[in-house]
């Protein structure tokens, strides 16, 4: 049983981690995940009866974040919803800052050690720090001694105890300012990601007997008719029944060119109707629609955390108790050994505590990964977890299905080979008229290649010969179109054709007129995509296909494939991928790209399974770790580049945060850095790390 909640106002990443850990400790909870970027809580239990009481969850949330509100979250809502900052909360913070600052300035103007000076500083301290101290007490009451509120409270109370009143007030004032700046930076990051995901439809115009009725897309059923006017977003997947228009699918696929649709064409939810009125028959519920799948994948991607994120979570739990211990040793050991004054060393220990807060790491790294996932989604690439995004940094082997992945997956006339005395145009026109009444894929490809309207009055009769082809009479001429067996049966000897593909021979009045080659075409961007993958460091390109050897080798040679496996059954594909997984270098990954139902087992087996989602089967999309909505191989190198940029920025944040903190902590322990520098270092590093994470979205 799964249940989702919204955590409105959640602004503290450390608190989010603590809330998640505490809820996971509740009996009956199998897994609880707090998504800081989307401010959602998802709880998974063994049964419906084991869902924790709402009051129990609310108490845990308010222990760590008193100003955060908890409410049940419907899958029909957008977890990246626009959330306005409460004016009351914002004004309260500003008033607190101004009042405490005025009191601190007034206190600094009083004579040293005077009662009024002490009173004004203490009052300023209480006004600025009461919220932090209250949260620290709440945390201690629930057994959590090592959060940022505790660190700031101990440091500032210690400063008061040794008479460093200005520093104590400064810690609280600048910590509050830092909190506001942090919330502002995180809100900006969330809004940047939300803008990428602004594709959720607000309503659907349901066609009823009395006209149209505006309803929630969740309430529309399969088979219902909906109307989409110009400028409106298509709310659900379906087939166009009436009207023609241009659909802007850029928010879904990243394709800038609008797509024209006619009656009978599919329409994807989330696209925008640019002109005309469309009547669409719904073929998927909202929960299964394209737009909901995209949102669900992006919003829930942070549940599958990358190794870097897991490391930072573990690191912060070990790091905080260690720095508290070090601060204690700095404050106590030197006076005991040297017998000097306690105050300077206590002050150094307190400075050490202020600097040590791990916020910059805890907040910026998850935001970095969710930013990378958001950037990929903008290009029509859905990554189901930050662990997959991280794994894409080390791809050594890229394996591909052929049909529908590297090739278009549709039959096309690729060559027209007229015999002596016949022209290409005549041969193609004759073949099209002979196949005009046929419905099989080869006939459709010939008619598509002809590209003109058929005058059915010219066709006098047609007869299909099972397993051979068609006999037709077109304007008094006897036409045979089919395979070699048909030609030889009629005493006609066709020319030998060496090209790969299905050969369709044509004869007119007993004379061989030529051949058409029907084959699957390579996608326009396949060659450039594979070349770019090689440039990016992918060592080996492999193709796995059930197609015949000659066709596979022709396509493979054209695309520069290193290893080609053909005439494979689904279980043989699995065996080869298992072999490739054993062969790949240590600490590298294998990605497999496919689109069909028979690719699902291999997609699940590979380190990274990538499905071509536009034409791909639902089974392939479900089994894959990444879905490419445009079916374009060129999105693969773009995806790896996004993964590497994300990894680079996350690494920069880790190095920046740790190196600056170690440097300032060293200064603090040596007595060079004071409280002011400590607070500025903590807040500054956090802001720089968050802003650096936002670069991924550019």
Pairing of β 395-401 and β 540-544: parallel
Tokens 């020319």 map to which residue? 495
Q: Which of 237, 401, 520, 631 is catalytic?
A: 401
In sequence order, which residues have a C-beta less than 8 Å from that of residue 136 and are 6 or more positions away? 147, 149, 150, 152, 153
Q: How far is CA 657 from CA 360, 602, 676, 684, in A?
A: 6, 40, 18, 10
Angstrom distance (rounded) from CA 150 to CA 155: 8
Tokens (6 digits) for 28:
């009956």
Q: Give the angle 201-204-206 at the CA atoms, nearest 5°.
A: 170
Structure tokens at 536: 């990016």
> Which 3-state string (H, E, C) describes 171-232?
HHHHHHHHHHHHHHHHHHHHHHHHHHCCCCCCCEEEEECCEEEEECHHHCCCCCEEEECCCC
Other beta carbons less than 10 A from residue 231's beta carbon: 9
Longest Cα separation, the chain: 121
Taking the C-alpha atoms of residue 284 and residue 24, their distance in angstroms, rounded to an integer, is 35
Could you tell me which residues come within 8 angstroms of residue 667 by beta carbon, excluding any fewer than 6 positions away? Answer: 673, 677
Which has the closest alpha carbon to 630: 476, 458, 405? 405
- Between CA 401 and CA 405 the distance in angstroms is 6
Both structure tokens of 114: 């005077």
**187 annotated active-site:** no
- Gap between the terminal Cα atoms of the chain: 38
Long-range CB contacts (within 8 A, 24+) of 493-500? 495/417, 495/419, 497/417, 499/414, 499/415, 500/550, 500/551, 500/554
Alpha helices in 451-548 (DSSP H): 484-489, 526-535
What is the Cα–Cα distance from 364 to 691, expressed in whole angstroms? 8
Q: For residue 538, how many C-alpha atoms fall within 13 Å in the half-sphere facing its CB?
A: 25
Report the catalytic residues. Answer: 401
């Amino acid at each position: 049983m799964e249940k989702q909640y919204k955590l409105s106002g959640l602004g503290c990443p450390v608190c989010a981690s603590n809330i998640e850990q505490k809820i996971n400790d509740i009996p009956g909870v199998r897994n609880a995940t707090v998504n800081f970027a989307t401010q959602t809580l998802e709880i998974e239990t063994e049964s419906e009866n084991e869902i924790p009481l709402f009051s129990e969850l609310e108490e845990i949330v308010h222990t760590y974040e008193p100003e955060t509100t908890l409410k049940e979250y419907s899958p029909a809502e957008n977890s990246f919803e626009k959330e306005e900052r409460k004016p009351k909360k914002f004004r309260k913070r500003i008033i607190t800052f101004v009042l405490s600052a005025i009191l601190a300035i007034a206190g600094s103007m009083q004579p040293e050690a005077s009662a009024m000076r002490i009173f004004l500083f203490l009052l300023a301290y209480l006004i600025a720090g009461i919220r932090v101290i209250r949260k620290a007490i709440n945390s201690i009451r629930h057994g959590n001694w090592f959060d940022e509120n505790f660190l700031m409270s101990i440091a500032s109370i210690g400063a008061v105890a040794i008479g460093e009143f200005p520093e104590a007030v400064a810690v609280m004032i600048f910590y509050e300012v830092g909190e506001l700046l942090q919330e502002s930076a995180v809100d900006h990051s969330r809004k940047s990601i939300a803008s990428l995901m602004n594709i959720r439809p607000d309503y659907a115009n349901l066609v009823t007997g009395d006209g149209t009725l505006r309803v929630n897309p969740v309430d529309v059923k399969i088979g219902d008719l909906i109307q989409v006017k110009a400028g409106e977003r298509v709310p659900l997947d379906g087939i166009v029944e009436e009207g023609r228009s241009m659909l802007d699918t850029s928010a879904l696929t990243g394709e800038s060119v609008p797509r024209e649709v006619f009656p009978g064409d599919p329409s994807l939810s989330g696209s925008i109707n640019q002109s005309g009125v469309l009547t669409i028959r719904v073929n998927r519920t909202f929960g299964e629609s394209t737009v909901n799948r995209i949102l669900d994948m992006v919003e829930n991607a942070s549940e599958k955390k990358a190794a870097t994120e897991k490391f930072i979570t573990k690191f912060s739990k070990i790091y905080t108790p260690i720095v508290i211990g070090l601060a204690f040793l700095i404050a106590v050991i030197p006076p005991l050994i040297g017998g000097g004054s306690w105050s300077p060393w206590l002050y150094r220990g307190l400075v050490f505590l202020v600097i040590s807060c791990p916020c910059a790491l805890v907040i910026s790294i998850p935001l970095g990964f969710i930013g990378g996932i958001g950037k990929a989604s903008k290009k029509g690439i859905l990554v189901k977890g930050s662990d997959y995004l991280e794994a894409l940094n080390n791809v050594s082997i890229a394996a591909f299905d052929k049909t529908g992945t590297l090739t278009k997956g549709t039959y096309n006339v690729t060559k027209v080979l007229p015999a002596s005395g016949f022209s290409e145009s005549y041969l193609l026109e004759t073949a099209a008229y002979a196949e005009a009444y046929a419905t099989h894929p080869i006939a459709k490809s010939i008619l598509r290649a002809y590209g003109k309207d058929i005058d059915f009055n010219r066709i006098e009769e047609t007869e299909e010969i099972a397993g051979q082809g068609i006999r037709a009479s077109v304007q008094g001429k006897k036409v045979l179109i089919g395979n070699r067996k048909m030609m030889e049966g009629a005493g006609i000897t066709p020319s030998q054709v060496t090209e790969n593909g299905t050969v369709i021979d044509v004869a007119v009045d007993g004379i061989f007129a030529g051949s058409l080659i029907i084959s699957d075409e390579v996608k326009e961007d396949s060659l450039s995509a594979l070349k770019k993958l090689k440039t990016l460091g992918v060592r080996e390109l492999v193709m796995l296909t059930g197609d015949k050897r000659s066709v596979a080798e022709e396509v493979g040679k054209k695309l520069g494939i290193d290893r080609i496996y053909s005439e494979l059954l689904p279980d043989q594909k699995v065996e080869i991928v298992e072999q490739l997984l054993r062969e790949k270098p240590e600490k590298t990954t294998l990605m497999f790209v496919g689109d069909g139902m028979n690719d699902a087992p291999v997609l699940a087996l590979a380190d990274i399974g990538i499905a071509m989602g536009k034409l791909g089967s639902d089974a392939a999309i479900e089994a894959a770790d990444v879905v490419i909505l445009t079916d374009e191989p060129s999105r693969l190198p773009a995806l790896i580049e996004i993964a590497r940029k994300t990894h680079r920025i996350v690494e920069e944040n880790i190095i920046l945060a740790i190196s600056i903190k170690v440097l300032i902590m060293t200064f603090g322990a040596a007595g060079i850095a004071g409280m002011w520098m400590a607070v500025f270092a903590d807040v500054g590093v956090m802001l720089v790390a968050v802003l650096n994470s936002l670069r991924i979205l550019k």
